[in-house]
Structures are given as C-alpha cells and as structure tokens.
Amino acid sequence: TPPPDNSTSLLVYDDALQSPWMNNSWSASTTFGSTEQKQSGTSSIKTTLTSAWGALSLHYGAWGVQGINPASYTGLEFAVYAPASGTSLSIFFESDNGQTFPKVNTGTIAAGNWKVISIPMSQLNPNGLTINRISIQEISGSTKTFYIDNFKFSGSAPAPSVPATPTLASPSNGSTNVGLNPSLMWNASTGAATYRVQVSAASSFSTTLFDQAGVSGTTFGASGFSNGAAYYWRVNATNASGTSGWSGTSSFTTVAAAPPPDTTKPTVSITAPANGGTVSGTVTIGANASDNVKLAGVQFKVNGANQGAEVTASPYQTSWNTTQVANGSYTVTAVARDSAGNLQSAVVTVTVANNAPAPSADLSVYDDALKNPWINSSWTATVSFNSTEQKASGSSSIKVDQGAWGGLRFHSGAWGSAVAIDPSKYSAISFAIHGGSVGISLGVFLANDQNQSFPAVKYVWVAANQWKTMTFPMSQLNPNNQTVHSLVIQDMSGRVRTYYVDDIKFVSATQTLSKAVDGNSETAEGGSTSATFELGQNYPNPFNPMTTIQYSLAAPANVKMEIFNMIGQRVELLVDRQQSSGSHQVSFNGSLLPSGVYFYRLTAQPLGENAQPLVIMKKMTLTK
C-alpha cells in the first residue's frame, strides 16, 4: 500500500491520468484505467510495447505552453508491476526545447510483484531544468508488458527565494540604429517564474509604451517604435516568494528614417563621335555623364550590343574598331546608370566608311607566339607557349597537357571587351597539330560571348608522333555567319593527353577553298576536301550486321577506312592501300560487335608533293 499523498505532491496517475497530463507514448499500446493489475485504488496504466524500444511517455499540458519547476518537488515516485521476468526500466525527463537530462535505470524488476520506485529530483534533474515530459522505457531489448500505478512528483521543496534582479543583455545600453521591431533580451534570474518588462520614452518611466507582466521567457518582442527616437527599458523577476527589484535601466536609439528613394535619372550626352558623322578605323566613343546622388557607370553600345564593359570612372570613353564591321549606318548609345539603378540614354547615328576592302591577309592566332589581341582561356589544361619540344615550322609551338575533357581555348581580346571576328572575312581555320606520343581524337569548334550555338568537328584522328595540317572551312564551323570570339581545339578521348599545336590562323576569304563535305556535326566531320572527295552515309543505317559505305576520290591517294567505337578505340580497318580517283565502296560486317553507335573515318593522302591529308568521319548505328 502506498504512503498517503500530501497536498504538495503533483499527481500524474491515480486511478486516472490527471490533468493536464497527456499521453505521448511511442511504439506502445497504453491502457489508462486497466483493472488487470493495481497497487491500490481501482486501476493502473497498462503498457504493452509494440517494438523493443517503445516507451510510456506523458507530456505536461500542451507543447511549448507550460512546464514543471523541479525546485517545487523532491523526487519522482511510482509503483511498477512486471508480469514477466527480465523487465528493466529507464526513467528520464525531457523538455520542449531539447535540453538533455540523465537517464536513471531501475535494474531488473522481479516478476509478479509490485515494486515502488522512488528517484530523487537531484538524480533525474541535476541542473534544475524545466520539465515538460516523463518517459519510462523498457531497456531489455524485447517487447514486454508492465503496469504503472500511483505515479507522482513527491514531497515538497523549500519555498524558493525571491529571484535575483535580472541583468539586461540586448540591445546593450546606448545602442544606436536599432530596428523598429527589436527583441529585448535579458539574462535569466535564478528562481524566476515570470518577468515584467517596461519600455518608456522617458528615463523616469512616468509613462510607458509597454508594461508587460507574466513574461515566461527572457525575450520580449517589441514593435511600434518611431524612427530616430530614444527609448528606455527595464525588467524585474517574480516567483511565489516575491518580486525582485528592477534591473538597471538601458537605453537605445532606433534607426533614422530612410531617405526618400532616388528616382531622378542621371544625365548623359555623347561627346564623340558626332551625330550624323562618318567614321573609319578605330574610333573613340566618349560621353559626359553626371547624377544628383552618385553615378555608377556608363555602358556604351553599338547597334544595341555592348561595346566593352561598363566604364565606372571618368573619363567615360571606349574604343570601337570599325574595320571589324561592314560599312553602313550604326547607332551608338551611351547608357548612364546611377547607384539607385536609374538609367538614361543618349544616342547618335554614324556611318562607317572604311575605304580599304576586306582584309586579304590571314588572321594569325599563333606563329611562334600568341598574337595580339588573343588571350589564353583554356580549361583543365596546362598550356606552354613557345615550347621547343615539337614544332611544325619556325622556332616553337604550343604544348598542351590536357586533362580529361579539358580544352585549348583562345579568346579574342579580354573578357568583357572582346574583339569580334567577322566570319565573312575568312574562309577557314587552319593549324598544324602533333598527336603526341599516343595520338589524339581531335575536336574543333568556335564560340562567342553571346553563347550562340556553333557546330563542332569531332573525333578526327591525329596519329602519334607526327604533324598533320588541318583546314576546316568557315562554312562548316560557322554556317550561320555568327560573330566569333573564341576558338577551341581539344582532344575528345576523355583521357589525359599531351599534344602540340602550331601555325594557327583564320584563312583569308580571298583564298580559294575546295568544297566542304556536309557531315553530321553532332558526331564528326573532317577538314577541307576537293569537289569530288566525298564520304556517303552507310546503307542501310541502322544495320544488322552488314552495311555498305560509299566514297569518292578526286585523285589517286593512299586511303584508310577505319571503324571506331564510342570511346575512340579502332575496332576494324576496312581499307589501307593506294586507290585510284573515282567512286569506291566497301562492306562492313558488324556481327562480332555489340549493338551501339560507331564511327567510320575516311583518310585520303593525295600522292602529290606537299599534299595534305583529307579526313571525313560519320556515324552509324548497329542494331541487333
């Protein structure tokens, strides 16, 4: 029989779950008011675990609303009945803010008898934290049933002392530029149950903006303050034994009112070139600009396209090389921007009239040195200019140590102030390339700073330990005649490769090029070819397992027809001999290969002196 209860105990269960306790058990079936076993009265709590680590768990009131002050009680007491042997319980408290409490184990409870468990508060809650939840967990690692009766917080602690005077934390005394909705924070007072907060515009607190009692935490959210005003605040603490004195008074000043938004546009005028004027060569575009607050910069444009980067300091001017554009009428714009984002534009119209015809000279990118204005913008590659290890002509070449899927890239001019390449002035890209010690699978494409799409030449084989001169028509690399800012040369094997490049240039449009073969730019094409040097699409395609490949030669040549898989491995050599001019065909049997995409490459080395190899590659699909 349990000892009689006293008025200072806090009941959890006595023939019924007491208010405001709520069932919050997990992985357990709980029956409140079970008459199967009871220590006294009419019933107990029957708990049957549905998993090995379930628990009986009871929460004091609604979540986050209230809690139990441990200073009011000396310990926790309950009776437990274990029908089966080997039952061992772990008891622990929890709080709604996730604070940590120790777990206290009962040891093994003898089966078939009621046992009273009494645990001191100092053992369950040594740090005196607020309690929101009690959990009793069976820890033997098996699903068991147990009964709990006469569950309570027992005894009575001495009445608490009057709480200590709080100390204010934030905003600190004398703070300025405080927001209009600050959080007032103070340090907790020992033994405090609630706090009272006062806020006033007067240091005497003769009147108050806020006078809030019953604040349970140590933070008070205030609002409704005026801009640029001084305020004073203080806090006291209360518990059942009384109220502390007021804290020291702290003051703060709120942030000043924001100035009205700047909606005034800057002023701008173009000083050069003159409106309606005729220009040629390299022209300086200049402007005068100002703002009532702060000018951020001036962006120059030609026909709506940015001419270099925004100029952020006086003098506001940039250069325009009109030889890079066709003769005709152009609009030149100066857009002034202030710090608030307001924009103002000035526009003039000029006529470009360059008397010289389109340049007949080639545009050199590299010839023993990287030419101005080209810059190195390679990625995942170490690029050594002026390497003497290999060279096609002159004294040096470019050595490229390329990582997997890196690339050798050249950009015309600095980023943000690119020098555009007019594709109409050039008929092809030409360069010499050395395949290094193992050979490379060559890819070539152009790009511009507007991120427009360009076709790519891919998977052109360059043999090991030899130079090969490659020429790719502009019509193949840039069929839409888009402005060019970058040239990319890369190995496409997906492996680390070392190769060399020399004599890179854009070939003048005044030079006559042979007709380019129309290939599949998504997979592979070769370089320039004669009018009758052609590689047809295999037929049938897709095929299984036989297909026929037709091609034609403009002149006698040493011919190779090779088959490659998707990772660049050669899987078949169909032709490797000298052939006469005219039409040819060869059959390919893929019966020994798996289904997939393959590439067939025609390489023809004309027999004439100093003749350059002609290469075309296309793809085909084997379907089984």
User: Mind listing the pLDDT tens digit for each residue in 279-314?
Assistant: 999 999 999 999 999 999 999 999 999 999 999 999
How far is the C-alpha of 275 from the C-alpha of 254, rounded, in Å?
53
* pLDDT level of residue 611 (50, 70, 90 thresholds): low
Which residue(s) pair with 183 in the sheet?
A: 221
CB 530 within 8 A of CB 554: yes
Q: In which element (H, E) is residue 185 found?
A: strand 183-187
2 inside domain? no
4 inside domain? no
Tell me the Cα Rg of the chain: 43
pLDDT mean over 272-276: 93
How far is the C-alpha of 193 from the C-alpha of 242, rounded, in Å?
10
Residue 522 has pLDDT above 60, yes or no: no
How far is the C-alpha of 284 from the C-alpha of 277, rounded, in Å?
13
How many angstroms from the chain centroid is the CA of residue 330?
A: 41
Write down the mean pLDDT value for the chain. Answer: 89
Instruction: Supply 421's token pair.
Output: 């390449």
Tally of domains in the chain: 5
Residues 18 and 131 in one domain: yes
Amino acid at site 403:
G
357 inside domain? no
Q: Of 68-72, 227-231, 268-272, 385-389, which gets the smallest average pLDDT? A: 68-72
Last residue of a domain, one of 220, 254, 288: 254
Residues 130 and 176 in one domain: no
* pLDDT for the residue numbered 279: 92
* pLDDT level of residue 553 (50, 70, 90 thresholds): confident
Residues 24 and 111 in one domain: yes
Q: Which residue has the tokens 């546009």?
A: 265
How far is the C-alpha of 534 from the C-alpha of 156, rounded, in Å?
103
Domain that holds residue 562: 534-622
Residue 518 has pLDDT above 60, yes or no: no
- CATH number, domain with residue 291: 2.60.40.10
User: 325-339: string of b/e by CB count within 10 Å (b at 16+)?
Assistant: beeeebebbbbbbbe
Residue 515 has pLDDT above 70, yes or no: no
Q: Which residue has the tokens 């997990």?
A: 26
Residues 389 and 493 in one domain: yes
Strands annotated E in 313-439: 316-321, 328-338, 343-352, 363-366, 374-376, 379-387, 397-414, 417-418, 426-434
* pLDDT level of residue 189 (50, 70, 90 thresholds): very high
Residues in CB range of 543: below 8 A, 6 or more apart = 590, 620, 621, 622, 623
Residue 555 has pLDDT above 80, yes or no: no
397 inside domain? yes
Residue 427 has pLDDT above 50, yes or no: yes
How far is the C-alpha of 617 from the C-alpha of 589, rounded, in Å?
18
Residue in 404, 608, 384 with CA at minimum distance from that of residue 490: 404
* pLDDT level of residue 488 (50, 70, 90 thresholds): very high
Residues 120 and 14 in one domain: yes
Residue 516 has pLDDT above 90, yes or no: no
Residue 84 has pLDDT above 80, yes or no: yes
Residue 83 has pLDDT above 90, yes or no: yes
For a pLDDT cut of 70, what percent of the chain falls above it? 93
pLDDT digits (tens, 9 = 90+) for 17-57: 999 999 999 999 999 999 999 999 999 999 999 998 899 99
* pLDDT for the residue numbered 358: 44
Q: Which residue has the tokens 């330990």?
A: 465
Residues 204 and 98 in one domain: no
Our separate counts of H helices and E strands in the chain read 2, 46
DSSP state of 111: B
Q: Which residue has the tokens 């703002």?
A: 291
161 inside domain? no
Nearest-5° Cα angle at 365, 360 to 367: 100
Q: Which 3-state string (H, E, C) describes 195-223?
A: EEEEEECCCCCCCCCEEEEEECCCEEECC
CB 332 within 8 A of CB 285: yes
Instruction: Supply 92's token pair.
Output: 């622990």
User: 348-378: string of b/e by CB count within 10 Å (b at 16+)?
Assistant: bebebeeeeeebeebbbbbbbebeeebeebb
How far is the C-alpha of 313 from the C-alpha of 554, rounded, in Å?
61
Residues 66 and 187 in one domain: no
- CATH number, domain with residue 63: 2.60.120.430
How far is the C-alpha of 370 from the C-alpha of 397, rounded, in Å?
10
Amino acid at site 541:
N
CB 286 within 8 A of CB 315: yes
Residues 371 and 503 in one domain: yes
* pLDDT level of residue 524 (50, 70, 90 thresholds): very low
DSSP state of 543: B
Which phi and psi angles does 70 have, rounded to 5°?
-65, -20
Residues 408 and 496 in one domain: yes
Q: Which residue has the tokens 């408290």?
A: 93
Beta pairing, strands 210-215 & 267-272: unpaired
529 inside domain? no
How many angstroms from the chain centroid is the CA of residue 611?
A: 51
5 inside domain? no
CB 391 within 8 A of CB 503: no
Residues 568 and 453 in one domain: no
Last residue of a domain, one of 154, 177, 196: 154
Instruction: Supply 446's token pair.
Output: 């152009």
Residues 450 and 398 in one domain: yes
Query: Higher model confidence: residue 253 or residue 260?
Result: 253
CB 11 within 8 A of CB 20: no
* pLDDT level of residue 610 (50, 70, 90 thresholds): low
How far is the C-alpha of 295 from the C-alpha of 272, rounded, in Å?
20
pTM: 0.33
15 inside domain? yes
Burial category of 400 from C-beta neighbours within 10 Å (exposed 0-12, middle 13-18, buried 19 and up): buried
Last residue of a domain, one of 508, 524, 547: 508
* pLDDT level of residue 475 (50, 70, 90 thresholds): confident
pLDDT digits (tens, 9 = 90+) for 335-358: 999 999 999 999 999 999 987 444
- CATH number, domain with residue 584: 2.60.40.2550
Residue 137 has pLDDT above 90, yes or no: yes
pLDDT mean over 103-130: 94
Instruction: Supply 615's token pair.
Output: 């290469």
Burial category of 139 from C-beta neighbours within 10 Å (exposed 0-12, middle 13-18, buried 19 and up): middle
Residue 383 has pLDDT above 80, yes or no: yes
Q: CA 423 → CA 348, 366, 480, distances in Å?
A: 27, 18, 9
Q: CA 491 → CA 294, 380, 445, 462, distances in Å?
A: 50, 12, 12, 10
Instruction: Supply 151's token pair.
Output: 């569950």
* pLDDT level of residue 158 (50, 70, 90 thresholds): low
Residues 367 and 499 in one domain: yes
* pLDDT for the residue numbered 1: 37
